[in-house]
Structure 1
Amino acid sequence: MKFLNGGWMVKDGFDVRYAANVYEADVSDGSLTLYSPFGSPIHHPGQTLDGGLLTIEVSSPRPDVITTRLINHRGGPDRRPAFILDECDAQVDISEDDEAWVFTSGRLSLYIAKGEAMDFSYRYDGKEIAHSGPRAKGLVDDPDGLLHVCEQLDLGVGEKIYGLGERFTNFVKNGQSVDIWNEDGGTGTEQAYKNIPFYLSNKRYGLFVDTPGRVEFEIGSEKVSRVQFSVPGEELKYSVIGGADLKAILNTYTDLTGKPPLVPDWSYGLWLSTSFTTDYDEATVMSFVDGMAERNIPLSVFHFDCRWMKELEWCNFTWDERKFPDPEGMLAKLHERGLKVCVWINPYIGQKSPLFAEGASKGYFITNTDGSVWQWDKWQAGMAIVDFTNPEAVSWYQGKLRHLMDQGVDCFKTDFGERIPTEGVRYHDNSDPELMHNYYTQLYNQAVYDLVAEVRGKDEAIVFARSATAGGQQFPVHWGGDCSSNYASMAESLRAGLSFGMSGFGYWSHDIAGFEDKASPDLYKRWTQFGLLSSHSRYHGSTEYKVPWLYGDEAVEVTREFTELKLRLIPYLRTVAQEAHTTGVPMMRAMVLEFPDDPSCEDIDTQYMLGGDLLVAPVFSPDGVARFYVPQSEDGGLWRNALTGKTYEAGWHTEAFDYHTLPVLVRPGTRPIEG
C-alpha cells in the first residue's frame, strides 16, 4: 500500500502514525513485550495522555526464527482461519544492557535499541542480515477509514528480493508492488494464482507475514531503500528467518509451514490432456493414446479436462454418457495400457448440476449473510461454491470423488479456487471472508489430496493444482495456469516457476506449448524441451489438441527423445525429490539458490538447475540461439552437455541449437542421467 507523497508528505486522505521508540519492556515465558508511543518519545507524564501505544510482542516458534507481532487494539475477536504452523520449543535467550534488549533464538538475534529512536537489528552469527529503523513501524488510516498496520525493513545496496509466490513479473522483485491476493488472471499480468507472503533476500534472511489475508508489499517501490509490507486490521505478525544460506532458510521456513511430500515415480512421466474446450469422446481419447504408442512415445498419465462432464453442469462429477457410455470400461482400457488417469474438477457447482439442490438443501455451500446460497454467473450459470469449513460438506465432496476413484480415476486436477467472494458472505465456521479468500485453496486442495492418499495410499497421492497459499506445498503438484502460446509467455512461465520454488514449493509444472492460442511447430518443439526438463510435464491447451503429430514429424521425434530422456532421469529426480521433501529446496532451482555466492547468478531467470547437478537453459527464440551462464565448479572442472558431449568453461556462452538439443549441462563430477 502506497501512502507517501514523496519523502516527507503523506497522500491526501491518509493519516500515518509511526512508533517512536521503546518506552518500556516486559520479559515473561520466553517472550519480550515492548511498548512504543506514537509520534514522539515520552519525556513527562503529560505525554501519556490522549495518545496511542503500539504493543510489540517478540517470540520464537522455532530456532533461527524471530516473530514480531505489532498490535494496536487487541480487544477484537480472534479472526480465523489462520495458517497451521509447526512450532516447537526454541529455547530463547533474552538479555539486556544499557544500550539494547537482545532476543536470541538459535543463531539469530534481534537487537532492540534503547533510547530516542526505534531500531531493530537482526543478526545471524553476529552479522546483520535485516534492519528496521525509525519511521518503519506504524499505523495507516486510508481514505476509506480502514486501518492498516505497516512495517519496513531496509533494502540495502545490492540487496535483492525473491519469491512471494508464483509471480509472472520480473524474477527479482525490487521495484515492484505486490498484493498477496489470489486472482485468476492468466500468466501475463501482475496477478497470480499462488500468492505466498514469504520472500527471500540475498542478504540471507527470509520474511514470512503470518496471515492468510491480503498483504501488500512495496519492494523499493514506495521508499526505494526499504521493503514495506502492511495488512488491514489491528495487528501485523511477521517472522524473520535466518540461515547460513538461502537453502537453509527455505529448510527452516518449510519446517514451520510444512514440507513437500514425496510424489509417485509415474508422475514424472509425460501427461497428455484432452485440452480444455476441445470436442472429444472415448474414441478421441483412445486415438490419442494409441497414436502415442504407435509413435513409440512413452505416456504416463492421461488427463480428461472439463468436458468429461456435461456442459453447464460443472461440476456434477458424472461422466457425460453421450461421450462416455462405459467409463469403467474405458478407464480399464487405459490402465491396461499402463496409464494413470487424471480428471479435471473444481470446487464450484453450477445451478444446472444435479448436485446443486442437494448441496444447497444440506448447507454445503458458502452463503449470503441472510442464509441464502451465494451465487453468480461468472464461469457457470448460478454457480455456488462448496464450503470446506463444513466437515459434512468436505465428506460430501470427497464422496463424489471417491466414486470416481472406485471407477478407476487415479488423481485429480484441482482447478480454480481463486474466485472466492469476500463481501456479504458467511462460512459454516464463521471464518472471516477476507482471510478465507486466499486460504480457501488450502482447504480445497487438502480435501482432495487427503482423499487420494486415503484411497490410493500416501505413496500414490498427488493432485494437479492451480491455486495455493502458504503451506500449500504439502499438497503437490502445482502448475502455472493459463499461459499464451508464444516465447514471451514461455519465459514468464519459467520466471513464475522459479519464484514459486523460492517460496517453499518443491514441484512445479506448466502447460507445454501454451494454453491459449495455437502454438507454432517451432514453439511446440522448444517448449517440449523445457516441459520435459521440468519437475512435471504435461501437454495441455485451450481450444487446440496438443498431440505432437499435429505439429509435424520432427515434433514427434522431439517429444519421443525428451520423454525418453525424462524417464532416464527418474532415478535422479527421485533423489532430488527426496531433498525437496527433507529440506524444502525445490526440484527446479533458480541459479541464485544453487550458487548464492556467484553475483552473476543473482538476476538470471532464463535458466535453472534441475536438482543440484543439471543446468537447463531453454531456448526462447525461433533462431535457436541460447545465451546461458555456466558457474565456476568447485574443482574448476568443465561442465558437459548431456546431449552433445560438448564441454564448457565457466562464464557466458551464446550458441545455436537444433530442436534435438539445448543446454543441458552436467555439473563436473556428477552423473545424473542413467544410460
Structure 2
Amino acid sequence: MINCKSCGQNIITAEPISDSCIRLRIADVGDKECGLSRYGIYEKLPTPEFSSEEKGEKTVITVKNACLEVGSDGSFTFSDASGKTLISSAGIEKQRGGFDARISYRDGAKIYGLGDATRRRIEKTGFATEIWVRNIRCYIPVSFIHSHDGWGLLLNSTWRHMVDIGASEKDIMRIVACGGAFDVYLFAAPDTHSMLFEYTRVIGRPIMLPKWAYGLSFVANQANDINATMNDCLNFRREDIPCDIIGLEPGWTANSRYHFGTDKEWNQKTYPVPGWQKGDKSATFLGAMERIHFHLSLWLCIEYDLSYEEERQAGYEVKPDEIIWDDDDYIHDSHFATAARLDGNTKLEEPFFEHLKKFVDDGAECFKLDGCHQIDDHPDRLWGNGMTDEEMHNLFPLIYAKQMSLGYRNHTGKRAMIYTSGGYTGIQKYVATWAGDTGGGAKPLSSMLNLGYVGHSNVSCDMETNCTAGIHFGFMQTWSQLSNWAYWNQPWFLEDELKESFRFYAKLRYRLAPYIYTMAHKAAQTGLPVMRAMSMEYPDMEKADDLGCQYMFGDDILTSAFVDEITLPDGKWINAWTGEKTDGGKTVSACTSGVIGGPLYIKEGAIIPTTGDRTYLGTKAFEGVTFNVYPSENETSFTLYDDDGISYGYENGDFAEVKITAKKTGDKTVVTVMPRTGAFEGMSEKCIYTVKLYQNDIVGATVDGKAAEISAGDGWCNTGIGKTVSVTVEVKDSPVTIEFKA
C-alpha cells in the first residue's frame, strides 16, 4: 500500500493491483478491513510495474493502463493510459459511521453492473437502489459497476449501502454506506469484454462445473420417497429424455424437514441408508442411481455462524468454549460450565461442511443451498467475528458458497456442483446460482443477463413447462434445472405436445454439449459469460439495452424468449429451424409453432460443435464430434475444448483443444481441421470428426486433394431442413483440409 498525503484525520492509501486496476482507500482509524479482503475473496496477483510520485498536495500512481491522482483531501481523478479522464470525485465525506461519496462520470455514459439489483432493466443510468441481499427482490447484488466508455468501480465493502447512478443528479454517481471505509478498486479497460477480463482477474473467474452439470438437473417433488425418486430416474431413461442430476428437496433428513444444524442423518423412512450399508455405496439407492448414470443432489438450509471458520482460515485464533471447573465446585453442573449462547447450532470448532462429508462419502455429489435463513435479515445478531448484520448480511451467502465449494474440493479433489439463490460480489468463483423463487419468465432472464455483466456465468432459473416458450428458455441457459418441489412437472405428465417439446429440447441441449462446455471454459478463462446481453456483444447496436428478452448464447447463437419479435444485429444470420439465411440490421418475427418455443439464429461464419444423441453427459471425453459449418466469405474459426470433466487438472493445463477454420471463396468452401493439442486423462485415442456444411448446392468434396464421399442429411436441430452435406475425417499429426465444391 502507498500512503498518500492527507490533510485531515483520514488515512488515505492507494495500491496498484494490476496493469489496469488501482485501489484507493479512505479510512479513519476505527475502520476495519473489509470481509472480502479479510476472508481471501480476492485473487492473489503479483504486484504490477508502477510508479508513484508526489506533486504538491497530490499523489500520482501510474500502472500500464491507468493513472490515479489523489488529493490530500481524498479527491481523486482516474485516467486511462492516454491521459483521458474516466471518472473523478465530486466530493467524498468520510465519517466514522461510513461515507457519502459523489463521483462524476462523462455525459452519455452507459453504465452496467450491480448484479441482481434489478430485473427491469440492463443499463443503469438514472437508477438507484440499496445493495442488500433480499428474498425475491434482490438475491445477488454485486458491488461492481462499469461503463461502456472505459471505467469500472468495485466497492470493497459488504456494508448495507445505497448506489444512485444519475437518478438524483445528472452524471453523478453517489454511493452512501452506513459503515466502513471508502474503499474502491478502479479499473480501466477499453470495452466490456476487456473490463470483465480485468475485473474477474482481480475478484475471481467463474467456476468450471463438472461436465454433467451442464446437462439437465431435475429436482424431485418434496413429497417423494426413495421409490418415487428412483422411479423418476427410470422414467427419464424409459422416456428417452436425457438427464444427469436428481435432486432431493426437504424430507431427506431425519427428525426435521428444515434441518438447520449439523446433526443431520438420512431419514430412514423416506431415504434409508442402513448402517450395515455404510461404506458400500453399491448396496444403497445412491449406488443404484450411479449405475444408471445419475448424480444425487441434496437440499440444504442453514442457521450457522460461518464467521468462526472464516476467522480461523484467515489466521486468527478461534477458541471453543472450554470447561474449567473451579476447585470449589462440588456438583460440576454442566449447565454452568460454558457460556450460554443463543446460537444452539454453531459449533465453534467445526466448519459447516464437516458434517456433510459423510453424505458425500455415501455418494452425494451436489448441494442445493436454499435461501431459507441465509438471505434473511438477522437484525439483532452479533456474529462471532464481531460484525453486526449491517456488515455481515451481504457477506454471509458469499462465505456460505465459499465454504461449501472449497470444502467439497478439499474433501474429494473434484469440482463441485453446488448451487444457491443468494450471493454477493465474487459469487461466480465458487458456485452456480439459480434465480430463486422468481419462476422461469422474463424477469429471471433479465437477472441472468445482469449477472453476466458482473462476470457471473453459471446461472439458471426454474423451468416453466406449461408452454413451449418456457421449455425453450429453460434449456437455452448456462445450466438447466427443472424443479418439481410441490408440483408435478415431470415431463411424462405434460400434455403430449409439451412432452414432445421437452424431449426435443433436452436432446438438442445434449447435442450442443461440446459447444456449451467450450463456452463455459471460455467464461472460466475470461469472465465472459455464456449468456450475454445484446449490448455486451453489440454495443453499437441501436436500442440494444431495450432488448432484454433476447441474448447471445455463447459466441454464435442468438435466441430470445417470451417475445414475438427478435432484432438481428448487422451481418447475415441463419434461422436454425428453417435453414433460411437473412440479412441482419432488422427485426423479424420470433413466432414459432409445434414443439419449438422460440427463435434460434446462427451467425454466418459460425462453427458449432455437436455430438450425437445421448441419455446423459457424465464425464467422458466428447467423441463423434460434428463441426457444423455455416460458411462465410470471411475466414472464421472455432476452438473446441475438452477435459476429464470432473477434476481441477484443467487449471494446470490438463485439457485438449481442436481448432477448425472455414472460408467460402466463390463456389468453394475450404475447411481445415488442425491436429489436437494438449492432453488429459481419458481422452479418446483417435480424432475422428464429421464436418457438416450448411449449404445445399454442394456437388463434391476432396480431403487433402483426394475425392471424398459426401452424405446429405439434416442439421443438428433435426427439423427436417435437409440442407447439409458432410464428410468424416480422421486427423492425426497434420492438418486435414476439406474442400467442398458447389
TM-score by structure 2 length? 0.71
1:147 counterpart (77, 83, 97): 97
Distance between the aligned counterparts of 1:349 and 1:475, measured in 2? 19
Partner residue of 1:510 out of 449, 461, 465:
461
**Closer/same/farther in 2, CA of residues 235 and 119 from structure 1, 3 Å limit:** closer
Once the two structures are TM-superposed, the CA of residue 326 in structure 1 deviates from its matched residue by 4.3
Q: Who is 2:110 aligned against?
A: 160
Q: Which moved more, 1:213-222 or 1:263-272?
A: 213-222
Q: Equivalences for 1:243-642 in 2 at 5 Å? A: 243-275=189-221, 278-310=222-254, 311-315=256-260, 316-326=263-273, 329-348=284-303, 371-374=339-342, 386=346, 390=348, 392-394=349-351, 397-416=352-371, 417-419=374-376, 421-427=378-384, 429-431=385-387, 433-458=389-414, 460-484=415-439, 490-513=441-464, 521-522=466-467, 525-618=468-561, 620=562, 625=564, 627-633=565-571, 638-642=572-576
Counterpart residue identity of residue 579, structure 2: G
Contact 2:17/2:47, CA 8 A, preserved across alignment: yes
Match of 2:4 in 1: 33
- 1:35 partner SS: coil
Distance of 1:333 and 1:581 partners within structure 2: 33
Over 3 Å counting, the alpha-carbon distance change for 1:147 and 1:406 in structure 2 is: closer
Q: Distance in 2 between matches of 1:79 and 1:664?
A: 44
- Between the aligned partners of 1:413 and 1:332, the Cα distance in structure 2 is 20
SS at match of 1:543: coil
Aligned equivalents of 1:56, 1:158: Cα separation in 2: 31
Q: Which has the higher contact order (CA 8 A, sep 6+)?
A: 1
SS at match of 1:348: coil
Q: Name the structure 2 match of 1:7.
A: none
Query: Whole-Å Cα distance in 2 between the matches of residues 482 and 234 of structure 1?
Result: 32
- Alignment TM-score, normalising by the size of structure 1: 0.77
Matched residue SS, 1:421:
coil
Distance 2:603 2:67 in 1: 37
Question: SS at 1:308's partner residue?
Answer: coil
* Corresponding residue SS for 1:511: coil
Whether the 8 Å CA contact 2:64–2:81 is kept in 1: the answer is no
**Aligned residues of 1:531 and 1:537 also touching (Cα < 8 A):** yes
- The 3-state SS of whatever aligns with 1:657 is coil
CA distance in 2, matches of 1:207, 1:340: 40
The number of residue pairs the alignment matches comes to 564
Secondary structure class of the residue paired with 2:163: strand
Q: Which has the higher helix share?
A: 1
CA distance 1:537–1:104, change in 2 (3 Å): same
Between the aligned partners of 1:363 and 1:175, the Cα distance in structure 2 is 51
| CA distance in 1: counterparts of 2:429 and 2:345, whole angstroms | 23
Match of 1:512, SS state, is: coil
SS in 2 for 1:260: coil
Matched, 1:239 2:189: no
Range moving further from structure 2, 326-335 or 246-255? 326-335
Are 2:435 and 2:447, in contact at CA under 8 Å, matched by a contact in 1? yes
* Identical aligned residues as a percent: 22
1:93 corresponds to 2:61: no
Deviations 1:396-444 (A, max 9, x none): x3232111112221111122222252534231x4455433222222322
- Greater radius of gyration (CA): 2
Shift, 1:217, TM fit: 0.6
Deviation at 1:480, TM superposition (A): 1.1
Q: CA deviation at 1:582?
A: 1.2
Higher mean alpha-carbon deviation, 413-422 vs 461-470, is at 413-422
Q: Can you list the C-alpha shifts for 1:273-294, whole angstroms capped at 9, x where unaligned?
A: 114xx42112221232222222
* Secondary structure at 1:393 match in 2: coil
String of CA shifts for 1:340-396, please: whole Å, max 9, x gaps: 11111122379xxxxxxxxxx9769xxxxx954446xxxxxxxx5647xx4x320xx
Q: What are the ranges of 5 or more consecutive residues in structure 1 without an aligned counterpart? A: 1-29, 37-51, 141-145, 351-360, 365-369, 376-383, 514-518
1:347 touches 1:385 (CA, 8 Å); kept in 2?
A: no
Secondary structure of residue in 2 paired with 1:440? helix
Q: 1:608 to 1:528 in 2, by over 3 A?
A: same
Alignment of 1:68-217 (within 5 A): 68-71=24-27, 73-75=28-30, 80=35, 82=38, 84=40, 85=42, 86-95=44-53, 102-111=60-69, 120-126=76-82, 128=84, 130-134=86-90, 136-139=91-94, 147-167=97-117, 168-183=119-134, 185-186=135-136, 191-217=137-163
Amino acid corresponding to residue 410 of structure 1 in structure 2: E
- Counterparts of 1:666 and 1:77, CA distance in 2: 51
